[in-house]
């Protein structure tokens, strides 16, 4: 008999509108357990948050719950909202060192809505955990599996809402910070961005992730000077919203970023790069 723990954290998958307003998490895990032969489930309703509200304090509670309970179970299934799934997946992938399956899932429609993808996603995640073919932290969603630190949300309405980013797997693990510490800044480069926008965003931060375009680069204006100055005191990481990641050696604009002292996110998504920067700077 396989023993699995299902941890609920809220999200669309657990949402309803019994109060007559917008959707909000209100369903507990015992109401969403799948029927799976040969599996004994326990449930931990950890918190009930819309994932837009997720902060490092939520990650701490979830991380601790996973670490404390893993020894007692063959695997863990985590129900989570989709909007910040990529951040939570990266946090767990970088901080949970295990060969046991820790499977994240969620849904685009609430569990009780007609044609909801929630029951199917929970069933799929539980099967992935039961057969343990994907060790460590992974996302099981819409009959597809991706590494926890390698996911990006690409749709706010389609049931197949996630894609692999660049087949990234963490090469090292980090200790979860004892205190939240100093957070990194994350900014998106646009043709309207000025150097002062970058410097203000980076003020009193542990570092900055600048999401640029395509393979990555910075424009030939005052942003270059600002990055040169920032890179002398904090990490400056260049990321890309595009699947496949950055390659700053490819174009002159990317080489310009390297010469200014920035580093590239490489195969890390913006979410993954920001999480790793936070963990690294608060060890």
Intrachain domains 2-164 and 185-281 with the same fold: yes
The per-residue pLDDT for 38 is 95
Structure tokens at 189: 């480069």
- Asked if 15 contacts 24 with a C-beta cutoff of 8 angstroms, the reply is yes
The per-residue pLDDT for 252 is 97
Strand partners, 152: 163
Q: What angle do CA 111, 89, 202 make, to 5 degrees?
A: 120
Question: What does the pLDDT look like over 200-237, one tens digit per residue?
Answer: 999 999 999 999 999 999 999 999 999 999 999 999 99
The per-residue pLDDT for 21 is 75
The per-residue pLDDT for 160 is 97
190 has catalytic annotation: no
- What DSSP designation does 176 have? P
Q: Which among 120, 9, 3, 1 is positioned nearest to 63, based on CA atoms?
A: 9
Instruction: Name the packing angle between helices 85-95 and 56-69 (round to 10°).
Output: 50
Query: One of 197, 224, 247, 251 is an active-site residue; which one?
Result: 251
Query: One of 12, 95, 105, 193 is an active-site residue; which one?
Result: 12
55 has catalytic annotation: no
- Asked if the model's pLDDT at residue 244 lies above 80, the reply is yes
Residue ranges per structural domain of the chain = 2-164, 185-281
Structure tokens at 185: 């800044």
- Asked if the model's pLDDT at residue 194 lies above 80, the reply is yes
Please state which of the ranges 20-29, 137-146, 255-264 shows the lowest mean pLDDT: 20-29
Q: What is the mean pLDDT of residues 176-183?
A: 92
Quick check: pTM over 0.75?
A: yes
- Asked if 245 contacts 265 with a C-beta cutoff of 8 angstroms, the reply is yes
Q: What is the mean pLDDT of residues 131-152?
A: 98
The per-residue pLDDT for 88 is 98
- Asked if the model's pLDDT at residue 58 lies above 70, the reply is yes
Structure tokens at 199: 């410097």
134 has catalytic annotation: no
The per-residue pLDDT for 31 is 96
Question: What does the pLDDT look like over 232-241, one tens digit per residue?
Answer: 999 999 999 9
CATH topology of domain 185-281: Rossmann fold (3.40.50)
83 has catalytic annotation: yes
The per-residue pLDDT for 101 is 98
- Asked if the model's pLDDT at residue 243 lies above 70, the reply is yes
Question: What does the pLDDT look like over 75-91, one tens digit per residue?
Answer: 999 999 999 999 999 99
Question: What does the pLDDT look like over 19-56, one tens digit per residue?
Answer: 767 899 999 999 999 999 999 999 999 999 999 999 99
Query: One of 45, 74, 153, 280 is an active-site residue; which one?
Result: 153
What's the CATH code, domain 2-164?
A: 3.40.50.1170
What is the C-alpha R_g of the chain?
Answer: 20
Average pLDDT, whole number, for the chain?
96
The per-residue pLDDT for 17 is 81
- Asked if 245 contacts 267 with a C-beta cutoff of 8 angstroms, the reply is yes
| Cβ burial, residue 220 (10 Å; 0-12/13-18/19+) | exposed
Query: One of 42, 45, 74, 83 is an active-site residue; which one?
Result: 83
Q: Which among 55, 80, 53, 86 is positioned nearest to 66, based on CA atoms?
A: 80
153 has catalytic annotation: yes
- Asked if the model's pLDDT at residue 18 lies above 80, the reply is no
The whole-angstrom separation of Cα 82 and Cα 154 is 10
The per-residue pLDDT for 20 is 67
Q: Which among 276, 275, 277 is positioned nearest to 87, based on CA atoms?
A: 275
Question: What does the pLDDT look like over 126-136, one tens digit per residue?
Answer: 999 999 999 99
* DSSP helix/strand/coil, 215: coil
């Amino acid at each position: 008999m396989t023993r699995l723990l299902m941890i609920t954290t809220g999200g669309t998958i657990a949402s309803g509108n019994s109060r007559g307003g917008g959707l909000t998490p209100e369903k507990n895990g015992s109401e969403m357990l799948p029927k799976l032969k040969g599996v004994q489930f326990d449930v931990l309703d950890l918190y009930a948050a819309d994932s837009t509200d997720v902060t490092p304090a939520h990650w701490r509670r979830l991380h601790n719950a996973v670490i404390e309970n893993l020894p007692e179970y063959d695997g863990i299934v985590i129900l989570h909202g989709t909007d910040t799934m990529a951040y939570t997946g990266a946090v767990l992938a970088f901080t949970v060192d295990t060969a046991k399956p820790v499977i994240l899932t969620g849904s685009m429609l609430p569990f009780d809505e007609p044609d909801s993808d929630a029951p199917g996603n929970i069933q799929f995640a539980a099967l992935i955990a039961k057969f343990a073919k994907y060790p460590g932290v992974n996302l099981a969603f819409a009959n597809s599996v991706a590494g926890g630190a390698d996911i990006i949300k690409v749709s706010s309405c389609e049931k197949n809402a996630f894609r692999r980013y660049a087949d990234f797997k963490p090469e090292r693990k980090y200790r979860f910070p004892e205190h939240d510490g100093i957070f990194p800044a994350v900014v998106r480069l646009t043709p309207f961005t000025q150097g002062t926008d970058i410097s203000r965003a980076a003020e009193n931060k542990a570092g900055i992730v600048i999401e640029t375009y395509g393979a990555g680069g910075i424009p030939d204006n005052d942003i270059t000077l600002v990055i040169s100055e920032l890179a002398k005191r904090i990490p400056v990481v260049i990321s890309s919203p595009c699947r496949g990641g950055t390659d700053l050696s490819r174009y002159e604009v990317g080489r310009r970023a390297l010469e200014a002292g920035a580093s590239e996110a490489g195969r890390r998504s913006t979410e993954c790069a920001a999480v790793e920067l936070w963990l690294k700077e608060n060890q």
